[in-house]
Amino acid sequence: MKTYKTENPFVSIVTLNWNGLGVTLEFLESMKLSTYKNYEIIVVDNGSDIDPTEAINAGNYYNTKVVKSPVNLGSAGGNNFGMRHCRVNYDFCFQLNNDAEITPDLIEKCLEPFYTDSSIGVVCPKIRFYDKPDVIQYAGFNKMNMLTGKTTAVGSLEVDNGQHDVSGYTHLAHGCAMMVKKEVIEKVGMMAEKYFVYYDETDWSARIIKAGYKIYYQAQGLCFHKESMSMGKESPLKVYYMARNRLFFTRRNGTWLQLVVFIGFFSFLTIPKTVLKFSLKKEWKHLKAFVNGVTWNLKNSKYSPQ
């Protein structure tokens, strides 16, 4: 494991655009605030209806290029597509959501832990909501409950009064902003593309930890996320992927005993509760999506290409 001695490693920043050019341009504008300059930005256009290349090139953004996928590869496949276009001699890949906005010293702060601890494979900053900039979205993750297939973010929805200003190891990375050491990508591999969206960074975190690396929450780094504090009504598509990938994650990462207990919990509590909820609300599309997400696991192996 490599501890970085240099104070100026090369950072490849990967961000995804899918029919969200305005938000992507706002992200790129925020990158102009960065006090760290040894980086490139790779904008992955994930099969958008309109080619964003001309608009992005017109913005004269520092060391930025657009790479285009003809189809939507999802968050996992899109990030992998971006990583494959990183400069050959990059040192870190910093995956940042296009609906994030950075603070000027974000990159420096996220690099700092790597200089002192070679066991660190991933660093994530504190994340607060853009529309409620004093409210925390992420200050680390609690341990995944393998019996339920769920976890919670430390500090979630708390007003930031400094109560989570101590940095340290955490259980999972947050996909909005995660800086990954190149060595980790070479050893562990990229994200499991079968997830498409949701649980993909959770699975990657589990594999990274299994390989002997640690995930670090850097409280002194900060970015803002434009995800709403109140997600509102779930779409059938989200219901599908959340159900599908919750099962898929446990199949890939749980022990046999954990999987048996999880299946019991899911079968006798989660399924009846969810069916009842959508039935009472007459949300038949949501119910169908849930059933399709569950049954997908009966037809697909737990293997995923990278």
Range of the domain at 118: 11-225
199 and 281 share one domain? no
Is residue 167 a part of any domain in this protein? yes
The DSSP bridge partners found for residue 44 are 16, 67
Last residue of a domain, one of 225, 258, 274: 225
Is residue 231 a part of any domain in this protein? no
pLDDT in tens, the chain (306 residues): 666 666 799 999 999 999 999 999 999 999 999 999 999 999 999 999 999 999 999 999 999 999 999 999 999 999 999 999 999 999 999 999 999 999 999 999 999 999 999 999 999 999 999 999 999 999 999 999 999 999 999 999 999 999 999 999 999 999 999 999 999 999 999 999 999 999 999 999 999 999 999 999 999 999 999 986 544 568 999 999 999 999 999 999 999 999 999 999 999 999 999 999 999 999 999 999 999 999 999 999 999 987
From residue 296, alpha-carbon distances to 38, 107, 149, 247 in Å are 43, 39, 17, 10
Residue 227: what pLDDT? 87
Is residue 5 a part of any domain in this protein? no
Residue 306: what pLDDT? 75
Q: What is the Cα gyration radius of the chain?
A: 19
216 and 274 share one domain? no
pTM value is 0.95
CATH of the domain at 207: 3.90.550.10
25 and 172 share one domain? yes
Region for 122 from its dihedrals, namely left if φ exceeds 0, alpha if ψ lies in -120 to 50, beta otherwise: beta
Tally the domains of the chain.
2
218 and 250 share one domain? no
246 and 172 share one domain? no
Residue 144: what pLDDT? 97
Residue position matching structure tokens 């949300």: 283
CB within 8 Å of 168: residues ≥ 6 apart: 140, 216, 217
Last residue of a domain, one of 200, 225, 250: 225
21 and 73 share one domain? yes
The dihedral through the CA atoms of 216, 218, 224, 227 has a sign that is positive
Phi, psi of 100 (to 5 degrees): -105, 155
Cα(225)–Cα(136) distance, integer angstroms? 10
114 and 153 share one domain? yes
Last residue of a domain, one of 184, 201, 225: 225
From residue 210, alpha-carbon distances to 185, 194, 253 in Å are 13, 20, 10
170 and 275 share one domain? no
Is residue 230 a part of any domain in this protein? no
261 and 201 share one domain? no
